[in-house]
Amino acid sequence: MKILKSKTLYFSSIPVILVSMFIYLAMQFDLKTYPSSTFRSVLEITYFITSSLLFIIAIIGLQQLSIARNSAKMNAKREAYKLAAEQCSYYLEVIVSKVRSH
């Protein structure tokens, strides 16, 4: 799976969140005065679309969290192997040479 840049995900979700907040507020105030108009229908359709988009963005965000977790585990393992190799090198160069000299 391709790793998405977190800034891209963040900036692409901001307009969706703002639009859904605007539509929610518009539905709270304007639907009482316009009970059966095309404006109400448009608001409802866009409200449902933005809620679906928010759901999709949330799923992508959760996938990014799992990718980040796996990446952190891999980096920790890599650093542990690197430290082990350095310690083995130190043991071979310093400790073994001191033991042999005595």
Give 64-85 pLDDT, tens digit per residue: 889 999 999 999 999 999 999 9
Question: Which residues lie below 8 Å from residue 67, measured CB to CB, with a gap of 6+?
Answer: 1, 3
Q: Where are the domains of the chain?
A: 6-76
In eight-state DSSP terms, residue 91 is I
Longest Cα–Cα distance of the chain, Å, equals: 97
- For residue 84, the surrounding DSSP H or E stretch is helix 38-90
pLDDT in tens, 14-66: 776 777 777 667 666 655 566 667 777 777 787 788 778 888 888 888 888 89
The reported pLDDT for the residue numbered 1 is: 44
